[in-house]
């Protein structure tokens, strides 16, 4: 099975809203919704041969505030049950990582039960304030740091 990742289009919004754990996805900005208008990258994974959508993610830019640097928030990642454990989430996250080489990516409201999955997908656990590294109290953040310049 092939997996192709592309930008989400307005025509995808209905499918995205029907395939989520409760998010509403809209084209234009809307209170309480994830919108394409506000997305930094909204991505769809599809099977190019069948033309079938297999998963999606939504990310947005958190601008710098005062001394706090900006970062990219991974807001939602969803793969319907029938397409799980096939590398769909990995394809989506890998594409986001490539598109965002120079900024931190932070998982928004990450599911603690999927702790190991986030590590497998390339995120690192940053302990919360006062949390001893290695205890994994899960109060911290899941982040993908900016990619270091190699030269």
Applying CB under 6 A, which residues contact ligand COA?
21, 76-79, 84-90, 111, 114, 116-117, 120-121
Question: Closer to ligand COA at the Cβ: 13 or 95?
Answer: 95
For the purposes of burial, counting CB atoms within 10 Å of the CB of 58, is it exposed (0-12), middle (13-18) or buried (19 or more)? buried
In the complex, least distance from residue 66 CB atom to ligand COA, rounded to whole angstroms: 28
**Least Cβ distance, residue 67 to ligand COA (angstroms):** 28
Nearer to ligand COA by Cβ, of 35 and 67: the residue is 35
Separation CA 90–CA 104 (nearest Å): 18
Shortest distance in whole angstroms from residue 57 CB to ligand COA: 9
Tokens at 149, concatenated: 């310049």
Enumerate residues 6+ apart whose C-beta is below 8 A from 118. Answer: 107, 110, 125, 142
- C-beta of 42 vs 89, nearer to ligand COA: 89
Contact 9, 43 (CB under 8 A): no
């Amino acid at each position: 099975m092939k997996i192709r990742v592309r930008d989400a289009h307005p025509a995808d919004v209905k499918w995205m809203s029907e395939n989520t754990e409760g998010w509403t996805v809209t084209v234009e900005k809307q209170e309480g919704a994830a919108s394409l208008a506000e997305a930094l990258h909204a991505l769809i994974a599809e099977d190019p041969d069948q033309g079938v959508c297999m998963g999606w993610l939504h990310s947005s830019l958190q601008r710098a505030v005062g001394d706090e640097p900006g970062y990219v928030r991974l807001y939602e990642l969803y793969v319907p049950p029938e397409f799980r454990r096939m590398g769909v989430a990995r394809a989506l996250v890998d594409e986001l990582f490539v598109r965002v080489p120079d900024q931190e990516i932070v998982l928004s409201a990450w599911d603690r039960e999927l702790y190991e999955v986030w590590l497998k997908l390339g995120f690192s656990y940053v302990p919360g304030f006062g949390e001893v590294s290695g205890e994994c109290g899960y109060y911290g953040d899941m982040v993908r740091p900016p990619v270091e310049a190699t030269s």
